[in-house]
Amino acid sequence: MVFRCALLTNGRGGGPASGMSQSREKILVAMSGGVDSSVAALVLKQQGFDITGAYMKNWINEDNIVGNCPWMQDIEDARAVAEKIGIEFRVVNLMTEYRERVVAYLLDGYRRGITPNPDVMCNREIKFGVFLQWAREHGYDAVATGHYARRVENTGADGGPDGTFSLIEGADKNKDQSYFLAMLNQEQLRAARFPIGHLPKPELRRLAMEAGLATATKKDSQGICFIGEVKMQDFLRQYVPDEPGPIVRAGDGRVLGRHRGLHYYTIGQRKGIGIPSNTDFQKYVVVGKRAEDRALLVAFDGPDAPGLFTSELRVHSLSWTGAPVAEPRLIEGRVRYRDPRVHLKFVPDAGGGREGGSATIRFREPQRALASGQVLALYDGERLLGGGVYA
């Protein structure tokens, strides 16, 4: 298992803040060396914005973790694209901040037996956190990325723009990345630009080919956010010591074997548990972790597996792209990336679902394998409302 560290126009299409012309707005484009961010820069350049490309140097694999960490090649690819479209290119070193805000969060979560989401945290803390701060300190008005998402300006009672923005799913539903932006706030969204959110992926590739970009046929990255194609287990093995414990069958308490450490497993995992299944039709699945004796809880996969399906749970660390959901309300949620939106009832705690607060979630249909530490993205149709972390 490996993890990965809109059309921009004036006014309502998600471009410059109201009243700011394209010629005045300076945008720093986060160029990862992939085709998506390359075309993001291309689109903005064609639309006449004053843009600069920048590679965020977050990780260089100095600890020699097994896996492909092609940061030098990514820099060269991003630089080649910048030269091709005729924009300035810079490398911004954020390695210290990345270790403090993403890697430390990731490792702490796995040490505590939960399953963190480094991609969501990277967007909140790095791309639209310290990178955005760096951009503002150097005279830029906004930061653009290659996310498949759309930003639109909201309208007030008079029908005109009210200065706030909504985040909408990407037009290409197979590539939509709004889930990874679920923990952004309104201030971050106001300074964000998503130039490719209106494009289907095949069209994006075609634009890159027509422009002769070096990344036009480059394979999409599948690794941890800005680390590279490194298997999570290899990454964890480098930093989190093994703490073996029993593999216990939920229900009858039978000990089936031993595991190397709870941090290597997540709820819903079926492969690589280390114990044989009875038959091809009865596969063991991870259903829980017990901290007191470091037990990994498993059961036969199916609708009756204890702890595998959830109808109600708690979320904390709520974050909103706009106004909080202050009262109990029927909305939708995406329980993990690429899953479809599902119906749920959001019931905020006292305080009205405030930023950083908690809530109870009641799903219309039970949801499978929800792991503590992961993110629930909240929606009103295609509009992203915000998100929270599974308790």
From CA 56, how far away is CA 103, in angstroms rounded? 15
- The tokens describing 90, both together, are 């810079």
Helix (H) or strand (E) run with residue 300 in it: strand 295-300
Contacts of 257 by beta carbon, 8 Å cutoff, 6+ apart? 246, 247, 274, 275
Pairing of strands 88-93, 50-57: parallel
Phi, psi (deg, nearest 5) at residue 215: -95, 10
CA torsion through residues 27, 205, 117, 362, sign = positive
Catalytic residue among 103, 122, 142, 143: 122
Judged by DSSP in three states, 2 sits in: strand
Contact 347, 362 (CB under 8 A): yes
5 is catalytic: no
Going by C-alpha positions, the residue among 375, 378, 381 that lies closest to residue 124 is 375
Catalytic residue among 54, 168, 189, 225: 225
Contact 358, 319 (CB under 8 A): no
CA torsion through residues 254, 256, 262, 268, sign = negative
69 is catalytic: no
What residues are labeled active site?
Answer: 122, 225
